[in-house]
């Protein structure tokens, strides 16, 4: 029997959005059409903040560059991205929070709507062994630009978590979930203990109404 410590990634453990930063990085590297890609990337980000994001449309947009490049080239770009964009934006308090749960013997999980190609090395950087993310499809050694399974977003985070628990036959006594976003209210409602981390205005209002803890990692 274990306790689960479940963490959103973007704007929670990171002081930034890894998906959005990846898009900016691709623009900087000339791997996508700069002006139009940046404009559409910003629109999707604004929709996410507003709670109106069409996750399937966003997945098609965000995964298209993976299908357009060879995997070895993508992995080289990702190593630079991790070093230049992600390492500087790990939230100041993230390591301490993770270590507190790790030291308590909890099972640590990152759950994120951002795709696994981007987030897998970030989970490794943070020392979190379990990652639930939107999974990009790969066939014949190349990314297809589509997702496989359910997107790990909103209610999908709860669905994917339940599937992970059932598949691994994980027996748990208590769940603590951390997030910054009102998009994660289904996940926070699932948790035994919900913690709002540097929350957006909608989540802050809900956390105050329900007497959830509100913390900052920045």
Quote the tokens at residue 75.
Answer: 């992995």
Lowest mean pLDDT among 22-36, 107-121, 165-179: 22-36
Q: Higher pLDDT residue, 34 or 169? A: 169
Q: How far is CA 70 from the centre of its chain?
A: 24
Ordered structural domains, the chain, with CATH: 2-215 (3.40.50.1000)
Predicted pLDDT at 45: 86
pLDDT tens digits, 154-182: 999 999 999 999 999 999 999 999 999 99
What is the arithmetic mean of pLDDT over 44-57? Answer: 89
* Catalytic residue ranges: 8, 10
H/E run at residue 107? strand 107-115
Lowest mean pLDDT among 42-56, 94-108, 171-185: 42-56
Cβ-in-10-Å burial (0-12, 13-18, 19+) of 94 comes to buried
Look at residue 59 and tell me whether its pLDDT is greater than 90. no
Q: Higher pLDDT residue, 73 or 55? A: 73
Phi, psi of 32 (to 5 degrees): -135, 165
Which of 25-39, 50-64, 110-124 has the highest average model confidence (pLDDT)?
110-124
């Amino acid at each position: 029997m274990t306790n689960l410590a479940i963490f959103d990634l973007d704007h929670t453990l990171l002081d930034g959005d890894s998906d959005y930063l990846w898009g900016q990085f691709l623009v900087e590297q000339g791997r996508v059409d700069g002006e139009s890609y940046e404009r559409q990337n910003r629109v999707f980000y604004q929709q996410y903040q507003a709670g109106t994001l069409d996750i399937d449309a966003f997945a098609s947009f965000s995964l298209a560059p993976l299908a357009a490049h060879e995997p070895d080239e993508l992995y080289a770009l990702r190593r630079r991205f991790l070093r230049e964009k992600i390492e500087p934006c790990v939230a100041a308090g993230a390591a301490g929070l993770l270590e507190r749960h790790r030291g308590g013997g909890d099972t640590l999980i990152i759950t994120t709507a951002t795709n696994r190609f981007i987030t897998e090395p970030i989970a490794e950087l943070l020392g979190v062994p379990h990652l639930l993310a939107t999974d990009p499809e790969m066939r014949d050694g190349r990314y297809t630009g589509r997702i496989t399974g359910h997107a790990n977003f909103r209610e999908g985070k709860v669905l994917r978590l339940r599937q992970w628990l059932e598949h691994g036959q994980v027996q748990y006594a208590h769940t603590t979930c951390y997030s910054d976003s009102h998009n994660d209210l289904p996940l926070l409602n699932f948790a035994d203990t919900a913690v709002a981390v540097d929350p957006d205005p909608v989540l802050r209002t809900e956390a105050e109404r329900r007497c959830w803890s509100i913390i900052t990692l920045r």
